[in-house]
Amino acid sequence: MATESENIESLVNRRYEHGFVTDIATDSLPPGLDEGVVRAISARKNEPEFMLEWRLQAYRQWLTMREPEWAHVHYPKIDFNAISYFAAPKSDEDRPKSLDEVDPKLLETYDKLGIPLHERARLAGVAVDAVFDSVSVATTFKEKLSEAGVIFCSFSEAVIEHPELVQKYLGSVVPRRDNFYAALNSAVFSDGSFVYIPKGVRCPMELSTYFRINAANTGQFERTLIVADEGSHVSYLEGCTAPMRDENQLHAAVVELVALKDAEIKYSTVQNWYPGDENGKGGIYNFVTKRGDCRGANSKISWTQVETGSAITWKYPSCLLRGENSVGEFYSVAVTNNLQQADTGTKMIHIGRNTSSTIVSKGISAGKAQQAYRGLVRIMPQAEGARNHTQCDSLLIGKECGAHTFPYMEIKNPSARVEHEATTSKISANQLFYCRQRGISEEDAVNMIVNGFCKEVFKELPMEFAVEAQALLNVSLEGAVG
């Protein structure tokens, strides 16, 4: 028992490995938020009039909204005037045309993260739209994609180059006034990714964006919009790590997915932002709105997430199942350790006939962390033949952590079949003993059990991500197992 707890101690005390600040001068706006700031952001990005108008309306709506307080998380009030709403790397004027031109410091950053961008891109055939702070600085494989007719670019570029698509789809899934943070994002979003897959095209490669938050005190407000036209298919990977620092950083992203008839979007996330130190100091506030709209018949949207970072997570990737026979999926592994807090889950809104959804949520709570699964399954009266299966399991590690489940089920059609199962337990002494007496070390045994616990979700991840997800789990979770 003594060696076990020492082992655990050493693992628990392992430092966050991805914490460092890349030293690049940033061209930031001073802290504070008013209409002037919104106009300044829009002007710096040379946005057309409609975009500025959209932002201003969002800002005015945001002013009338109240911060949500229903989540099972506690944190000091955020001073929205202490945040700088725009930061861009200095070398903005002459943006690199290819990876070779990218600031070597940036590449070094990725190296430290263990994801050498060029290598990874070449080996894995992944096009990368790297968001370093707020402006995209490297986009690869553009040509190959444009051959297929796929548009994959930074959001700012899309606003200039494809205003008709942006105007048509922006805010059509997450309206400006959807919630407090979505409204804030709509007003001040700095950049993000835009993807359009034309009719009948299967995107030739997996698309990926690496997010990093870099400049201290800069909230990052990404906006991602993915439109999959009729009969198309795309898999999108999003991953992030962040440097270590003491002040809390606000991150309020909005992701909108639109799947038209017969289209399929697979959206995978590995999130490993700085969770704060063992005393709960620092760490990212991750208040994200992610929603997919299965607009056409037979469309499918699948969310897969591995959430290990952030001090506070408030995130509910959702699906609106409008099209007949459309399918929504949510696979999640969330890990909280030390003083991390997470309130995460999904919403499946069944509107069309014969729609189905699957929810698999695995929560692992360790140290003094608090984690909640919050989900909604709503079957509308017209959603004949809807089907949902939800499974949410929690693994508790330690006496002081918490795991909570708040699943809402609102069923307004009698032909619906809805099932919800949840379990909460710790790793049983019997399981551990069995492994130990087969000669497996304590740590390996716990690894095996935890990996087995998460298997259902990991197998949904694209291969490129599965390895990283396992590694992340090692850093953030195994340390606390006992």
The residues of the shown chain that bind other proteins, judged by CB under 8 A, are: 70, 381, 394, 396-426
> What is the rounded CA–CA span in Å between residue 468 and residue 268?
12
Minimum CB separation of residue 255 from other proteins in Å reads: 27
With respect to other proteins, which residue has the nearer C-beta, 74 or 399? Answer: 399
| Three-class secondary structure of residue 96 per DSSP | coil
Minimum CB separation of residue 323 from other proteins in Å reads: 21
> What is the rounded CA–CA span in Å between residue 247 and residue 289?
23
Minimum CB separation of residue 454 from other proteins in Å reads: 18
> What is the rounded CA–CA span in Å between residue 33 and residue 399?
42
With respect to other proteins, which residue has the nearer C-beta, 5 or 415? Answer: 415
Minimum CB separation of residue 414 from other proteins in Å reads: 4
With respect to other proteins, which residue has the nearer C-beta, 138 or 481? Answer: 481
Which regions of 367-482 does DSSP assign to beta strands (E)? 370-379, 387-397, 402-411, 417-426
Minimum CB separation of residue 345 from other proteins in Å reads: 12
List Cβ neighbours of 458 (8 Å cut-off, separation of 6 or more): 306, 333, 451, 466, 469, 470
With respect to other proteins, which residue has the nearer C-beta, 412 or 459? Answer: 412
| Of 338, 340, 337, the residue nearest 310 (C-alpha) | 340
With respect to other proteins, which residue has the nearer C-beta, 42 or 405? Answer: 405
Are the C-beta atoms of residues 343 and 375 closer than 8 Å to each other? no
Minimum CB separation of residue 330 from other proteins in Å reads: 17
List Cβ neighbours of 322 (8 Å cut-off, separation of 6 or more): 293, 294, 295, 351, 352
Fill in the DSSP letter of residue 81: T
| Of 420, 394, 417, 416, the residue nearest 407 (C-alpha) | 420
With respect to other proteins, which residue has the nearer C-beta, 32 or 381? Answer: 381
With respect to other proteins, which residue has the nearer C-beta, 70 or 77? Answer: 70
Minimum CB separation of residue 444 from other proteins in Å reads: 21
